[in-house]
Amino acid sequence: MNAQKLAVGLLAVSPEIREALAGSVEGTQLGSVKIVVDEYCTAEDDYSTQRLIEAHPDVLLVDMQDQRAGIKTLFVLHSVLPETWLYAYGAPNDPQLIIETMQAGAREFLSKPVNAHSITMAFNRFIDERDRQRIVAKTRGKVFAVTSAKGGAGATSVAVNLATTLASTIKYRVAILDLNSPVGDAASYLNLKPQFSLSDALVSAPRLDSVLLETFMTKSENVSLLPGPKQLKSCGSPAALGKLLRVVSASYGHVFIDLPSSLEPDLLQIVAEASEAVLVVMTPELPAVWRTHRLISTLAGFGCADRIRLILNRDNSRDEITEKEIARALNHPVYFRLPNNYSAAIQAINRGKPIVEMNHSNLATGYRQLMQELTGVAANKPRKPYSRLFFLG
């Protein structure tokens, strides 16, 4: 038994239903009725809503006797009390009503008639989830943003290959968030055809949790992807994006974000602040140096200068601009150099398969080394090819 009982709210128009619910709640020994409301909520500032906001119960039972008013109430309360678990209470033989209550923000549907046992089971599920969230909050996953100042620098390839390499080495779940719009390239790099996108998660931000997030993700082996919006859209409001990042880092051990540098400054700052490290990918050419200098200055203004990791992609000993010249021009050291193996990289992209899963090229080795340097997780040794015909250089 919990030392402290749950604070329970009841909303029912009928006096008989209010009395029955209160008796069942008190019979659980897990909760105590803190507030009883006898009118549905119609807006965020009406009297019933304000009373519930002030009481801020842990859980709230809403009777669905008036279905339309009940659905409206769930929408309103989920908006103003996002941390409160809402239970809809109604007839057991109405599947459409159950679906609508879930869409409106209810966490569970309790079928009439309830008793102390059924409510005890529901409250125990809440307690288990609350305790799990508290544990997760102490061990949130690490977020790595990957960006570039110039298109075609290889940021998506870096994000996808690092995530894929890491997912093959550890028990923690790995996710990729593609913030590019429209669509982004991460899905095609993994040969995926997602049903949902970033837009769905952002629209659902007020009620987003690890369970709902999971329905929006598309799986590829051990990696889960949330692709970019299907149309040219913004990445939502700062509040929505911030909520998404909190939920995804609570749900996955490591998260790689394919981050466009063209993102709105307030959204770019939210991602930068949430990231363990921001990988800035660039190629050794003069326009990339100029643009990267501006991007690094922007990121430094967000307070993450010490977390910027400059990645020199397609590095070649014959490059006209050397690593030292780049570091001096940017006033920032090069963190890692990925070798130039354009043919292997393009072949992997065309096949929709990360290069680290395709061959034993020097570029694949570079990705494994970068993952280990970045995360501290030892990379698996690549499997030997069955034939020299599979060796790509």
* pLDDT recorded at residue 358: 77
**DSSP 8-state symbol, 262:** T
Q: What is the pLDDT of residue 393?
A: 36
Q: Do domains 6-136 and 139-379 have the same CATH topology?
A: yes
Contact by Cβ (8 Å): 330, 323:
no
Per-domain boundaries in the chain: 6-136, 139-379
Rounded Cα distance between 291 and 20, Å, is: 67
Res 390: pLDDT: 39
User: What pLDDT score does 385 carry?
Assistant: 47
In this prediction, residue 391 carries a pLDDT of: 36
Q: Which residues of the chain have pLDDT under 50?
A: 1-2, 385-393
pLDDT, tens digit, 9 for 90 and up, residues 68-88: 999 999 999 988 888 899 999
164, 203 contact by CB (below 8 A): no
Whether this prediction's pTM lies above 0.75 is answered by no
* Cβ-contact 63, 20 below 8 angstroms: no
Q: Give the class (CATH, top level) of 6-136.
A: alpha beta
Buried b (16+ CB within 10 A) or exposed e, 124-143: eebbeeeeeeeeeeeebbbb
Cβ-contact 133, 125 below 8 angstroms = no
User: What pLDDT score does 338 carry?
Assistant: 94
Q: Which of 210, 207, 266 is nearest to 234 (CA)?
A: 266
Domain 139-379 is found in CATH 3.30.2270.10:
no
* Residue 303 φ then ψ, to 5°: 85, 20
